[in-house]
A and B are shown apart, each in its own frame.
Chain A
Amino acid sequence: MLGEISETTFKWLDERLSLSAVASAAGKKKVPLHKQSFWYYMGGIAMLLLAVQFLTGILLMVYYIPELSSANSSVLFINSQIDFGWFVRSMHSWGANILIFVLFAHMFSAYFMKAYRKPRELTWISGLGLLMLCFGFGFTGYLLPWDEVAFFATKIGIDIAEQVPLIGGILANLLKGGSEVGQGTLSRFFLLHVIVLPLGLFAIAGIHLLLVQLHGMSEPKSFQAQAPEKKKYEMFFPDFFMKDLMVWLLAFNVLATIVILFPWGVGPEADPFAAAPAGIKPEWYFLGMFQFLKLLPAHIGFIEGEKVGLLIFALIGGIFAAAPFIDKGENPKLSMFFDIYGLMILIGLIAFTIWGYLA
C-alpha cells in the first residue's frame, strides 16, 4: 500500500522533473580513493557551514536593529535576554571564522593537488570569487554589533580601501555613505551583509557546484598515473554521501561544542569620539595583510606605502588566480614553480598572521 503510493508519487514527479535522469547521473558519480581523499570533504564542510550561517543569520535578523543607538543594545539583548540568543549569535560568529578557515583549507588543497587544471579553471575562479565574497561578509558583518573594536576596525578597513589606486576615494565613499563612519555606514554594511552578498553568493555557489557535478572529482596526477586496475573508487551515492553526512554531523557538533564552551561576547558600544582602545586588530584572516601593510614605510619613492602594498597584493593574488591558465600540466618546471609559489604564499600568510597577532 505505502510502496504503491510512493511509487505513484515518484512516477508523477519523474514525468515532470526527470528525476530518474538526475538519479542515474548521480548514480554514476565516483570518488577516487587515495591518500589525499580526505580533502574532498572540505567543500562539503564549507557548504554545511554556509547553511548554518544562512539559518543563524535569518534568526539574528529577527531581533537585530540596524540603527546607531539600538544596534549594540539589540545584540546585547539577543545575547542576554532571548532564550538561546547567545547560542544563535555565537554559532554565527564562530561559524563565520571556522568557515573562512575551512575555505582556506579547501582552496590550498585544490591548489596543491593541481585540481584547478583543465577543465576546472572556472571552478577555481568561481571558488576564489566565493572566498572574496566571504571576506566581504566578514568585513561587513564585523561592524553590525557596533562595538568599539568593530567601529575602529571598519575605519581602518575603509582607510585601506581608500588607498586602492584610482577608484579608492569612490570606493571608500560608497562604503561610508556619509562624511564619517556612522548610520550611513551601518545601513549600507547591513544591506550588503544580508541582501547583496547573499545574492552574489547564491549565484556563484550555484555555478561552482554545477561545475563540480559536471566535471566530477578531480584526480591527482599520482592517482592518474596508476594502472587502471589499481585505481580504487567509491560510489558517490550512497557511500561518499553517507560519509559526507557523518562529516557534517561531526562539523556541526564540533561547532556547537565550541559555541557552548566559548560563547561570543559583545564589546562596549562604539563611541565615535573616544580614543581608539589599545590592541585594535582586524579579524585574523585580514591580519596577515594588515601586518604586511604596517611594515611598509609611509612613502616608497613618490607613491604612498599602502598603495604599493595593495599593488603587491594584487600582483601576488593575480598570479595565484591565474595558475590554471599558466600551469597547464605540460611543463614540469612551471608546475614546480607554482608548487613553490603557493607554498611561499601559505608560509607567508601564516607567518605574517602570527606576527600580527603577537605585535
Chain B
Amino acid sequence: MFNLTRKDFIRVLGGFFAAIWAAFATYPFFRYLMSGAEKKTGEDSQVTSLSLGKADDFIPGSSKNFKFGSIPALMVRTEDGAFHAYNAICTHLGCTVQFSSEKKHIFCACV
C-alpha cells in the first residue's frame, strides 16, 4: 500500500516515544496548576445559615449585600415587611447585583 523505509519507521517510532515522554513530563505541571482551583477551602462550603442582625434593624424597602460562605448574597426587606434572600451572582455576566430602594428593583451595575 505505502512504502515505509526503515529510516521513516525509526522516525515515527522516535516521535511516538517522544510524545509519550512529553505527556508524562508535562502532566505533573498541568495537575499542579489545576489543583489550585479544585481545592475546596472547607469551612466556607459548609455554611447553611447565618445571622445578619435584628429584624427591626432593617426598615421595609432596604437591603443588604452579605457573604454566605464563599457566595455573595443579597437580602431585601420589601415594603410588605417580608424578608427575601438571594444568591447575588447575576445570571448575565456573573457580577454581584444590588437592590435599588428608589426604583424598588434588583439591578446589576455590569449592565
Contacts and interface: CB of A to CB of B under 8 A. Distances in A.
Q: Is the interface of A mostly helix, strand, loop or mixed?
A: helix
Contact of B35 (A55, A83, A256): A83
Contacts, number: 34
Interface string A245-278: 0000100100010000000000000000000000
B25 A63 contact: no
Interface residues of A, number: 14
Contacts of B34: 83
B25 A88 contact: no
Contacts of A63: 36
A252 B26 CA distance: 13
B29 interface: yes
Nearest to A77: B39
A138 to B, nearest CB: 23
Interface in A69-109: 81-85, 87-88
B16 to A, nearest CB: 15
Nearest to B32: A84
Interface of B: 21, 25, 28-29, 31-36, 39
A84 B36 contact: no
A327 to B, nearest CB: 43
Interface of A: 55, 59, 62-63, 81-85, 87-88, 249, 252, 256
A85 B32 contact: yes
A59 B25 contact: no
A82 B29 contact: no
B28 A87 contact: yes
A82 B36 contact: yes
A59 B35 CA distance: 12
A82 B29 CA distance: 11
A252 B36 CA distance: 26
A316 to B, nearest CB: 41
B41 to A, nearest CB: 11
A63 B39 CA distance: 12
B35 A82 contact: yes
Contacts of A55: 29
Most buried by B among A83, A85, A87: A83
B54 to A, nearest CB: 36
A12 B42 CA distance: 55
B32 A83 contact: yes
A258 to B, nearest CB: 15
